[in-house]
Chain A
Amino acid sequence: MSIEVRNLVKKFGDKSIIDNISFKVNDGEVLAIVGFSGSGKSTVLKLICGLIPHDEGQILTSSGDIAMVFQYSALFDSLNVFDNISFALHERKDLRKKYSEENIKDIVAKKLDLVGLKGIENKFPSELSGGMQKRVSFARAIVTNPNTILYDEPTAGLDPMSSTLIEDYIVRLKNEINAASIVVTHQMSTILRTADRVIMLYDGKIVFEGTPTDLLKQDTPYTKQFVTASLEGPMQMKA
């Protein structure tokens, strides 16, 4: 078990944004959380990595770091690529003692190599394309060798080729570091190319759980509406 969520509830005021959901992700597995905008997908990720506290339920993780790749990369724009990736190694007391400056240079070079971006250490985020920024944020996320990686809409705003590249890196990272991964997305290509399992959220509840193939079968009104992107069905878009 790498991460398990049990009966998770998050309320904003009286309204339950996440309403009693449970799921489990094993090491080396990718779980895609899908659903229309406002269904609570990103909130689940923020709850798991502790950015917002949950009201009820449990989040159980194996010891080790949880990393997150943000929707718009969230690179530190005042720092260059090297400083972005090495940020945790320089700033965290436990890691600062562990690595020398030479070690850190090697680690950053290896992580950049892993995401196919050799030799851009001195560039600033503003000098990189959207796809490159996303890959740098992958490198930054995995610098501490996390055992859980959370991706918040990793292919949002990217062209189809960059999306494919990012999807390939998600699978590659899963295989290379054997991390449990959760991908929040509503892009079918990302689900089909990366996910081992899929859960669909609507109104804070899980309305479907299965494999990407099960999703494509459109056996339930929810999966049918999602796959056909129809406005008709049980899920109503919020204004």
Chain B
Amino acid sequence: MATFVQYLKKSTTYKIYKTLSQEFVNLTSFLGQIIQIALHMLKCIFKNGIQIKELIVQSERFGISSLPITLSIVGMTSIIVSSQVANEMVKQGGADFIGLLMTILIVREVGSVMSGFALTSMIGSSLASEIATMRVTEQVDAIDVLGVDSVGHLFVPRVLSGIIMMPAVVLIASFIGVILGGITSNAFSGLSYRAYFTSVWRGLYMKDLFISVLKGAVFGGSIALISCTCGYFAKGGAKGVGLATTRAVVWSFISIVIWDMIFAVLFFF
């Protein structure tokens, strides 16, 4: 019997099971940390208010400095999609629907999701590594010892800036995406701008815009909260900072996909 157990413990199936169960424990513990931090943040907001100066600094970081990269990514995705869709639609006699299709696609999905991915890789990783470095160099401990709540000081302005600025980034990126879709359709398929933009109006729903803004706020808050939490609980030295940054990017990506799925089920089913 003992030999069988030993054999089982050496098997690949057992190793996969061990890894998966460990990952499940890590995920549960991480979710616990996120909830704990979110509740603590709310307490800090009600108790100490919001540091407006720091909020402006973080909003500039989240919204303005990330804009060129976000616009490039959403814009290029829009060019890739429209260059392929426009040709096919014209061939099938659906030229009148190209603008409508691109608008629905960009406003509902591409604008928010691609902006989320861009902000995760740019801002999320930077937030995680910044706070993780502060943790491993005892700067976070120093904040607490000085009698300042480190969660309130570090998390509140960063997470709020994500919630406030990301909807604006998503709207600007979606607008640029729709415009570039028209230019590409004109260049690749000879579709007139009048036909494209007339079709755009037919595909532009207020509900979609509202959901896009809401998604932006949820994605922005999630990216900031997850990234800051990963940094805050970092351990060890340089390796710990690297691990925290990787965790932040991975979990932010996963959260964007999960939230997007929830939004799709809630609003478009």
Contact = CB atoms under 8 A, between A and B. Distances in A.
Contacts of A140: 142, 146
Nearest to A88: B146
B72 to A, nearest CB: 28
Contacts of B198: none
Given A91-B153, A93-B48, A74 B138 contact: yes
A51 interface: yes
Contacts, number: 49
A68 interface: yes
B154 to A, nearest CB: 11
B148 A70 contact: no
B145 interface: yes
B169 to A, nearest CB: 24
Nearest to B142: A74
A76 B142 contact: yes
Contact residues on B (Cβ < 8 Å of other chain), bracket: 10 to 19
B153 A74 contact: no
Contacts of B142: 68, 70, 74-76, 140
A160 B254 CA distance: 52
A70 B163 CA distance: 35
Interface-central residue, B141, B142, B153, by most chain A CB under 10 Å: B142
B139 A74 contact: yes
B137 A144 contact: no
A66 interface: yes
Contact of A144 (B134, B141, B143, B147): B147
Interface in B121-154: 134, 137-139, 141-148, 153
Interface in A48-78: 49-51, 65-68, 70-72, 74-77
A91 to B, nearest CB: 4
B55 to A, nearest CB: 14
A99 to B, nearest CB: 14
Max chain B C-beta neighbours (<10 A), residue from A68, A72, A144: A68
Interface of B: 48, 51, 134, 137-139, 141-148, 153
Given A72-B137, A74-B138, A140-B142, 9 more contacts: A67-B145, A68-B145, A70-B138, A70-B142, A72-B138, A77-B137, A87-B146, A87-B148, A88-B146
Interface of A: 46, 49-51, 65-68, 70-72, 74-77, 87-88, 91-93, 140, 144
